[in-house]
Amino acid sequence: MSERSEFTVESGSVEQRLLPSAEPVRLIDQHGVAHEHPQYEMPAAQTLAGGYAQLVTGRRINDQAGALVRQGRLAVYPSSHGQEACQIAATMVLGAQDWLFPTYRDTVSIVSRGVDPIETLTLLRGDWHSGYDPYEHKVAPQATPLATQLLHAVGVAHAARLKGEDTVVMALCGDGATSEGDFHEALNFAAVFRAPVVFFIQNNEYAISVPLSKQTVAPSLAHKGIGYGVPGERADGNDLAGLLAVLGSAVAKARAGEGPQLVEAHTYRVQAHTNADDASKYRDDAEVTPWLERDPIKRLDAYLTGLGVLDDEAKQEATRAAEKVADALREGLMQEVQPDPAELFEHLYTTPTPQLREQAAFLADELAREEV
């Protein structure tokens, strides 16, 4: 009898601890109007003003990168246009000791973490390495395979806990990644070992051309945490204030030893998956238009202007700072890269095999003959 009682699940406590809110947390609506929330407080106005400047820079990076693709200076660019609030909030809530594990769509988040924009785009330019030192800013290389970075993130978080470090790991992914086995394995391992990691899903409604309705029938993606004992929460992904409140709370809980947290941001992929995609093949403009009105920059602009915190000079300063970043991107990525063929053979083995040395010597000889 006592053994059975030990394993009895009290449904009420489970709902309180694990289930997300019925509606996504929203502190500022699309008209710039503030709303009180019983659990989450509005961030300080100056914090939001700093976030506004980062949103403007993030939007400019997205637009400039798109132009660089059309000019042949980038091989590909998965834009986060319209999702900038998620990108910025994910790093604003982190401390210097924390780690960020980004996907291929999280360029703006990486830059907001302090990584040089040109180094950030090196991978998408077509180089073989990530372009930056992951340890300098505690930002892992951008992951192209879906959800594989989540397992790496959990490993880093688990190691930090074992070493007694005050580290939280922010693991980014999209809604498509939640259909991958790696997502579920990462949540289960993190929950069992109470790894201090925040799984942050940017639900932009599409996995390339597959709509969310074809991926899952769960009430929300945040509900998926309950199967692993991971608390879930939902937030309006275009509301920087709501995201800062929800993600800030999740990071604090993970740091306090409460184990992994799962946050789903409801947002929308305004542009195509990448420059190689034609979104008109699977959705029409009428679907996109409402999301343009929910733009994260417009709503924060309206809110902060109404408070008197954001004036014309502050907006112009944010625009000037964003243009400075765009100028640096254009100048840096217009420089021609001289690839070194010898790099083909580097970093494959600690000690190169005889076959590899033979191939490298053969290529070097061929190249030398061309120069004669």
Q: Hey, what are 64's tokens?
A: 């400039």
Q: Are 243 and 237 in contact (CB under 8 A)?
A: yes
Q: Are 212 and 178 in contact (CB under 8 A)?
A: no
Distance, in Å, from the CA atom of 194 to the CA atom of 201, rounded to the nearest integer, reads 19
Strands 169-174 and 210-211: unpaired
Which DSSP state fits 29? -
Q: Say whether 234 is catalytic.
A: no
Give Cβ neighbours of residue 150 (< 8 Å, ≥ 6 apart): 101, 171, 173, 177, 182, 183, 186, 199
Strands 210-211 and 232-236: unpaired
Q: Give me the catalytic one of 184, 255, 282, 283.
A: 282
Which DSSP state fits 8? -
Which DSSP state fits 41? P
Q: Which long-range contacts (CB under 8 A, 24 or more apart) does 65-70 make?
A: 65/107, 65/121, 65/124, 65/329, 66/271, 66/275, 68/121, 68/329, 68/330, 68/333, 69/275, 70/275
Q: Say whether 129 is catalytic.
A: no
Q: Hey, what are 333's tokens?
A: 């990525």
- Burial (CB < 10 A; 0-12, 13-18, 19+), residue 11, is exposed
Q: Say whether 273 is catalytic.
A: yes
The SS3 call for residue 103 is: strand
Q: Give me the catalytic one of 113, 273, 294, 299.
A: 273
Q: Give me the catalytic one of 269, 294, 299, 303.
A: 269
Residue 132's DSSP bridge partners are none
Q: Hey, what are 152's tokens?
A: 């790496």
- Burial (CB < 10 A; 0-12, 13-18, 19+), residue 331, is exposed
In 3D space, the residue among 22, 92, 279, 257 whose CA is nearest the CA of residue 161 turns out to be 257
CA-to-CA separations, 62 to 102, 135, 142, in angstroms, rounded: 16, 25, 16
Q: Which residues form the catalytic set?
A: 269, 273, 282
